[in-house]
Amino acid sequence: MNLLTQLRSLFEPALTGLAPDRAKVPDLLGAIKPAANADNGDYQANCAMALGKQLGQKPPEVAKALVAALPPNDLLEQPTVAGPGFINLRLKPEFLAKALQEIATDPKLGVSPAAKSKTFVIDLSGPNVAKPLHVGHLRSTIIGDALVRILRFLGHTVIGDNHLGDWGTQFGILLYGYKNHRDDAAFAADPVRELARLYVTIKKQFKKDDDEEDGPTDDPLKKACQEETAKLHAGDPENVALWKTFMPACLEMLRPIYERLDVKIDYALGESFYNPMLPGVVEEMLAKGIAFESKGAIVIPNAKGVVPRTEEEQQKEEPPAIVRKRDGAFTYTTTDLATIKYRAETWKPDAMLYVVGSPQALHFKTVYAQAKRWGYASTEFEHIQFGSMLNKERKKYSTSGGGAPELEELLNDAVSHGRKRYEESVTDRREHGHEVPDLGADEVARIAETIGVGAVKYADLCQSRTTDYVFDLDKMTATTGNTATYMQYAYARTRGILREGGVDEVLFGSSPPAILLGEPQERALAMQLLRFPEAVEAAAADYAPHLITAYLWDTAKAFSIFYDKCHVLKAETPELKASRLLLVDLVSRVIKQALDLLGIRVVERM
């Protein structure tokens, strides 16, 4: 029950009747939008300007004709025409009241399934196992998981796939370390810890501690590690057997992080899974004329279809990508092509979304372009990019050197901030004479965890993906402003009001009371609640979770203004009290649901 969609359907016949060119009607409908200024109305139809141009008539006249052509309906007050031809639209209070009653009995709060259900594969998280988990993978996990949840909520089929880096050069380091430096007793007691130790020990002895583990090197130690990797990839039985013993421990390093983040990913088909398919991919691409030999290597053209050869071309063109190196080794690109083929054949998705940091943009551009030529032209490929997490000095945050616990430390830090916030708010409320229940240690721990982890996720999701952002726990756990903490408090507050009002959701489940929208703050809150489907659909259409946080922020503000102005439990009449309690109940459910779409938890009291 998307209001905007309903308005557009109302306008469609009128526009079709007036527009000289029917093909342009969808564009005209697109010009119906939420009003920028609520004083002018709820929505604004800005189609008269473009339509006027098409008809060679003055926009205000066209606007009037359009209004006159609207069918009779119970949605709108009489529309008004303003300025150069804006049509201001205001929804009738009776319509809003009825619509609210409808969403009150709808578990999905008015969000209807997408008109066309699609199948998505979402490539998310993708950590390089056995290496310290990088914050970039944290972002991919959080954003990817939100997209999985949002698209599923709209009725799409979504397959989450964790493209683990489980075949890379880090295994050469582990293999070398294990063979030369292992502590058997330590490995037997705690393989996870021992492998983390070995990785760090060897990495520290590299001449230059950069992340280029597989580049050419004159460092004998790095070379020795690279040889171990090469042997693994060539199927050396000893190395393959060791790899198989390492893998469970490597995955075990990741498990607690996913658990804590409340992220479940359907599949974890890592790079190793595709290894046997790589020669076939290269053969097929060669046969189809997509891949070429170049200086002994096999390459695929860049996104423009060019393999730059002359020096001049090389200067202005993006490079091709190598799918088989001169020494016969396959690459990240080869694996991604094999992955596309496997996913396409296994799940037949309409779209494949890759939630991966911006630095890999060129890689995906090339891979997608060639995959389309290869036979996947009808698949939508989308690189869901994101920027970097920065520390307070605005430098790239990196968790290098220490093993997965570093990310755990970051979360622990967030949780201790959460606890501090909670304790501050208890003191503050007590000082203001409010009654605050004494909660047991377990419940306080759960609150701290909910605030801390929620803050990390919300901060990540609440701005447009591609911007860098500063990891600042004080700001992220602020109890005012656009933070998870603020939303979680708002939720707990609504639950408190409802408890005090003796209401549970079940009461409103089947026969919601009449809704009264006499006060402007009530009406504004009602509008805001009814716009939840718009927010979810927009977030899904743009793969932009921040449209949901923006919605949450507006909703929390509308609620706060309403609650300041309108008595709920002490409303003047029982009818008004019931109506307002239903509004509070809806705020509560909408906040909980919207946060859930972002993978963020709430607590019933805090």
Nearer CB in complex with ligand ARG: 171/489:
171
| Dihedral sign of CA atoms 186, 187, 193, 194 in order | positive
Q: Decide the pairing of beta strands 43-45 and 86-89.
A: antiparallel
* CB closer to ligand ARG, 79 vs 357: 357
Q: Which is nearer to ligand ARG, 270 or 320 (CB)?
A: 270
CB contact at 8 A, 166 and 250:
yes
State which residue, 87 or 135, has the beta carbon closest to ligand ARG.
Answer: 135
* CB closer to ligand ARG, 281 vs 492: 281
Contact between 126 and ligand ARG by CB under 6 A: the answer reads yes
Cβ 594 to ligand ARG shortest distance, Å: 28
Decide if 340 contacts 352 (C-beta within 8 A).
Answer: yes
Give least dist CB 336 to ligand ARG, A: 5
Give, as one character, the DSSP assignment of residue 24: G
Please tell me whether residue 354 binds ligand ARG under the rule CB under 6 A. yes
123 lies in the binding site for ligand ARG (CB under 6 A): yes
Which residue of the chain is nearest ligand ARG when measured via CB? 126
Pair 306, 313: CB distance under 8 Å: yes
Please give the Cα distance from 195 to 199 (Å, whole number).
6
Which segment (41-49, 123-131, 283-291, 489-497) binds ligand ARG by CB under 6 A?
Answer: 123-131
Which residues neighbour 333 within 8 Å (Cβ) at sequence distance 6 or greater? 300, 321, 322, 323, 363, 366, 367
90, 156, 163, 531: which one contacts ligand ARG (CB under 6 A)?
A: 163
Interface stretch with ligand ARG, choices 49-57, 121-129, 222-230, 380-388 (CB under 6 A): 121-129
Q: Does the protein bind ligand ARG through residue 213 (CB under 6 A)?
A: no
Q: What are the CB-based long-range contacts (under 8 Å, 24+) for 367-371?
A: 367/321, 367/333, 367/336, 367/337, 367/340, 368/303, 369/301, 369/302, 369/303, 369/304, 369/305, 370/285, 370/290, 370/300, 370/301, 370/321, 370/337, 371/337, 371/340
Residue 17: both structure tokens together: 């009747």
Query: What residues form DSSP beta bridges with 390?
Result: 396, 470
Tokens of 289: 């004329």
Question: Site size for ligand ARG, by CB under 6 A?
Answer: 9
Those residues with Cβ within 8 angstroms of residue 116's Cβ, 6 or more apart along the chain or in another chain? none
| Identity of the residue, 131 or 495, whose beta carbon is nearer to ligand ARG in the bound complex | 131
Q: Cβ closer to ligand ARG: 165 or 512?
A: 165
In the complex, the smallest distance separating the C-beta of residue 126 from ligand ARG, rounded to whole angstroms, is: 3
Minimum distance from residue 339 beta carbon to ligand ARG (Å): 6
Between 257 and 356, name the residue whose CB sits nearer to ligand ARG. Answer: 356
Q: 79 or 168, CB closer to ligand ARG?
A: 168
Structure tokens at 383: 């690189």
Of positions 46, 128, 334, 399, contacts ligand ARG by CB under 6 A: 128
Distances (CA, A) of 158 to 26, 427, 584: 28, 45, 32
- Residue (195 or 606) nearer to ligand ARG, CB: 195
392 close to 328: Cβ distance less than 8 angstroms: no
* 384 in contact with ligand ARG (CB under 6 A): no
Amino acid identity at 461 = L
What would the x/- binding string for ligand ARG be over residues 250 to 289, using CB under 6 A? ----------------------------------------
* Closest separation in Å from C-beta 337 to ligand ARG: 10
The amino acid present at 481, given as its one-letter code, is: G
Asked whether position 339 contacts ligand ARG by CB under 6 A, the answer is yes
- Cβ of residue 483: shortest distance to ligand ARG, in angstroms? 29
Cα angle for residues 86, 91, 95 (degrees, 5° grid): 160
Among 59, 132, 165, 599, binds ligand ARG (CB under 6 A): 165
* Among 145, 194, 336, 585, interactor with ligand ARG by CB under 6 A: 336
Instruction: Give the C-alpha separation, 573 to 169, whole Å.
Output: 71
Binding residues (CB under 6 A) for ligand ARG: these are: 123, 126, 128, 163, 165, 336, 339, 354, 356
